[in-house]
Amino acid sequence: MSALEFTLLIWVGSLLGGFLGSLIGLGGGVVVVPLLTLIFHVDIHYAIGAALVSVIATSSGAAAAYVREGYSNIRVGMFLEMATTTGALVGAGLVVYLHGSVIAIIFGVVLLYSAYISVREIPQPSEDVPPDRIATWLRMDSCFPSGDGLENYHVRNVPTGFGIMFIAGVLSGLLGIGSGAVKVLAMDKAMKLPFKVSTTTSNFMIGVTAAAGAGIYLSRGYIDPGIAMPVMLGVLAGSFAGARVLSRVHVGMLRMVFAVVIAALAVEMIYNGFSGKM
């Protein structure tokens, strides 16, 4: 395979990854890392470095559109970034101490659990549940556009969400996935935000989280421009396309796509980790 063919194939795969990541708040890294390691046999450390760069591009591309359209909750995102950036620095610092197979297994387990929890039904809070005092103090409650106009919602369980976001940051720095999967689950399941608000706010946050970890990967020489550039350009184009179709996609379909895609990738990553192929 020539260098041009290799680059084009990576770009196409990253384009699809960015499109899917933009729709479900994953940032594209969840597809890019398995793509590079399983199909193109790129060392997982370099794959994670390229994925972190692509996550920054995804956040820049999709987040601006979502903020303009009124989906993202800026106050929630800025507050939770304090936890995720700290976690990302911790996670990136652990990379040098873990073998690639161990990282692949952790990657797969995280995604497999994310697939399960994303389709598990959790009762939503009833209207008589008192507002979260921290959310009220920080004025996090907001609204988002729906088919019937603006729909109001309340933010719940802020301390729980903050703790989960630290874990999400560690996973971002360690796995290069932007931790969008965990962020979406934290906001959707723990903090009770509407799913579209969770995914778009995740897209708003992941760039800052990824940048914290990417700096450490860059200092250790794990970011190869020949790999990172086509990945970044593909994911960026895909994220713009995903932002355009989000408002027309049913939430139930988003959840199902989310679960099926990451479950399949999780099984493959775990298998290759245990078999020593990573």
Q: Residue 230: its pLDDT value, please? A: 92
**Pair 28, 162: CB distance under 8 Å:** no
**Pair 82, 169: CB distance under 8 Å:** no
Q: Cβ contacts of residue 164 below 8 Å, gap of 6+?
A: 182, 185, 186, 190
Q: Residue 203: its pLDDT value, please? A: 75
What is the model's pTM?
0.70
CA distance 21 to 28: 4
Q: Residue 277: its pLDDT value, please? A: 65
Q: Cβ contacts of residue 236 below 8 Å, gap of 6+?
A: 18, 54, 57, 58, 60, 61
Measured from the Cβ of residue 34, the count of other Cβ atoms closer than 10 Å reads 27
Mean pLDDT by groups of 10 residues along the chain of 278 residues: 85 83 64 81 86 75 71 87 88 80 83 70 52 82 79 86 88 72 76 81 78 82 90 83 72 71 79 76
Q: Residue 126: its pLDDT value, please? A: 47
Pick from 22, 19, 69: which is nearest to 180 by CA?
22
Q: Residue 180: its pLDDT value, please? A: 65
> Apex CA 147: angle with CA 191 and CA 150, to 5°?
55
